[in-house]
Amino acid sequence: MDLQIRGKKAIMAGGSAGMGRATAERLAEAGVELYISARREARLVKAARDISEKYGVQVTPIVADSSTEEGRKALFAACPNPDILAITIKPPAPNGDFLNVTPEMWRESVDTALIGPIEIMRHYIPVMKDKGWGRIVNIATFSAKNPMLWRLMSGPARSALINYTACVSREVAQYGITINNILPGMFQTEGAEELIDVYAEAFGLEQNRDVVLTHFLENNKIPAGFLADAADMAPMAALLCSPLSRFIVGQNIVIDGGQHHSLF
Ligand SMILES: NC(=O)c1ccc[n+]([C@@H]2O[C@H](COP(=O)([O-])OP(=O)(O)OC[C@H]3O[C@@H](n4cnc5c(N)ncnc54)[C@H](OP(=O)(O)O)[C@@H]3O)[C@@H](O)[C@H]2O)c1
């Protein structure tokens, strides 16, 4: 399928690994000029080079933490006028006992998972409005709709994010701008691997990858029966970045192998 975005300018904020990288690859494959950001430089620069070589498009790496004003300024300076904006951000680590969650932990979660994406969208929406076209996709989490006691640092801030985009997407649709969110379930990514020890500690397990994965699958009933790869969500993200999705506005698309039971 031709996504009809060849030659457009796209930002994948959080594009050096996991689902951000997989999305960046689908966009590059479709022929966009790409800007990818992340906090860690070495992996970012390598990802940009690899994607550029593989798909023959220009990929600019920007070292920038989306949760800080300074980081966002670096992103805005490097790419002032994108047509497409995709954003993902890693929230703080799982919280452990909910009684130990402090106001400081909430502030970090909100700064990262809510204010970071909102401030990036708030900056670029007027730019897209001037162009009369734009696509915005947040890669957030299914715990925005599927509350999990051990993911309080991720879910509540994202529930607020999807509330925000539900409002703003309806306001900006008249200018040819769509905003939609992907709410991923459990994916085997670099980010998930980094949480294995934290998960093991939270559930009193030995820090062995197989033990943790077995416990995880037993305690997260996934009808599809497996943990997905980042590539399993990227085609949907790319579609939402395309003119083909012009009538999809303000939606939250859960991609989780059927784990979350709800009608809407
Ligand atoms: N994997 C899962 O099972 C799962 C489940 C539910 C929800 N999610 C959500 O899905 C999203 C993607 O997860 P993932 O597993 O693909 O993560 P990942 O493998 O860690 O990839 C995240 C990407 O975003 C970058 N990034 C993270 N925080 C950033 C920040 N503050 N500023 C700029 N770049 C940042 C990372 O690079 P740097 O670290 O170098 O910045 C990396 O390039 C996250 O929001 C996560 O909470 C994941």
Contact of 187 with 232, CB cutoff 8 Å: yes
Q: Which atom of ligand 1 is nearest the CA belonging to 68?
A: 31
CA angle centred on 107, ends 200 and 12, rounded to 5° = 75
Q: Is 88 in the pocket of ligand 1 (CB under 6 A)?
A: yes
- Structure confidence at residue 207 (pLDDT): 82
Tell which atom from ligand 1 comes closest to the C-alpha of 91. Answer: 47
Q: Are strands 84-88 and 9-13 parallel, antiparallel or unpaired?
A: parallel
Q: What is d(CA 255, CA 184) in angstroms, rounded to the nearest whole number?
A: 5
Among 53, 50, 43, CA closest to 191: 43
pLDDT in tens, 138-161: 999 999 999 999 899 999 999 999
Dist CA 63 CA 74 (whole Å):
8
- Of all helices (H) and strands (E), which one includes residue 228? strand 228-229
Provide the pLDDT for residue 202: 79
Q: Could you tell me if the CB of 66 is within 6 A of ligand 1?
A: yes
pTM of the model: 0.97
d(CA 169, CA 185): 23
Q: Is 217 exposed, middle or buried (0-12, 13-18, 19+ CB in 10 A)?
A: middle
Low-confidence ranges of the chain (pLDDT < 70): none
